[in-house]
Amino acid sequence: MKTKLEGIDYFKLLKRIEAEIVFIGERAGEGKFLAIRHDVDHSIEHAFDFAEQEHGKGIFSTYFLLDTEEYFDYTAKFAKQCHKFIELGHRLGWHNNVLAQHIKTGTDPHELIAKPLKFLSDNGIEIKGSSSHGDSIFYNTHTTNYFIWNFIPMKDYGLEWEAYFLPRDCYLSDSGAKWQGGLEKTSTFEKGNEGDIQNAYKIIDNFNALPEGLMQLLVHPCWWEK
């Protein structure tokens, strides 16, 4: 599986990270750990293909589903698609776009949170956490969707964590097709150019040099070819 930008192999990239894979939101004591997060912005079919390939390699991760996309249509077919991810050994999370939707439509944010989470719960799909979506309405602003948790307690909806709030020692993301992130303790955020895999390697190598720690890796399936 390779990026559409530079032909980077996803699984070779993972092998470069010297850490044990754990689910996001979990940490198994002392050691080096990697929590893989996938924000499913557009195509659930593409994400499922990604999930199948991970399963074939013995890799597990968490897929965050965006309820403002067409695939999240509250049908039995969609619920069945969700269960396929779980059958492959992955977990699901909710890709939170509440604040953006509230601004765009004026809909009560409580309703925007409750509706998708209730659907998933009613269909036997456990959601432990949220990852906030980088909606275009917030581009070039200092606002983001996770600000909603300043006003509404996550626990009121059975959520245990927001991905951006979780403790981590290193962060690596392909957001916007740009490899970016860095070590938390140095407060250095390396922002690469489009498709700049060397920036990812630099961040990984800095993480590998740590005696222990956890990296949160965010990969968007839409940036990768089948």
- Does any domain span residue 18? yes
Mean pLDDT value of segment 98-124: 96
- Does any domain span residue 1? no
- Does any domain span residue 3? no
- What confidence score (pLDDT) does residue 135 get? 77
> How far apart are the C-alpha atoms of 111 and 188, rounded to whole Å?
38
pLDDT band, residue 35 (cuts 50/70/90): very high
- What confidence score (pLDDT) does residue 192 get? 59
* Residue 136: pLDDT over 90: no
- Does any domain span residue 5? no
* Residue 130: pLDDT over 50: yes
131 phi and psi angles, rounded to 5 deg: -125, 130
Q: Number of structural domains, the chain?
A: 1
pLDDT band, residue 112 (cuts 50/70/90): very high
- Does any domain span residue 4? no
- Does any domain span residue 194? yes
How many residues appear in the chain? 226
> How far apart are the C-alpha atoms of 89 and 224, rounded to whole Å?
21
**Residue 79 near residue 44 (C-beta atoms within 8 A):** no
- Does any domain span residue 94? yes
Predicted TM-score of the model (pTM): 0.93
- Does any domain span residue 109? yes
> How far apart are the C-alpha atoms of 64 and 223, rounded to whole Å?
15
- Per DSSP, the three-state class of 54 is helix
Range of the domain at 30: 10-164+171-223
Tokens of 105: 């439509």
Domain of residue 91, CATH code: 3.20.20.370
Tokens of 145: 């969707």
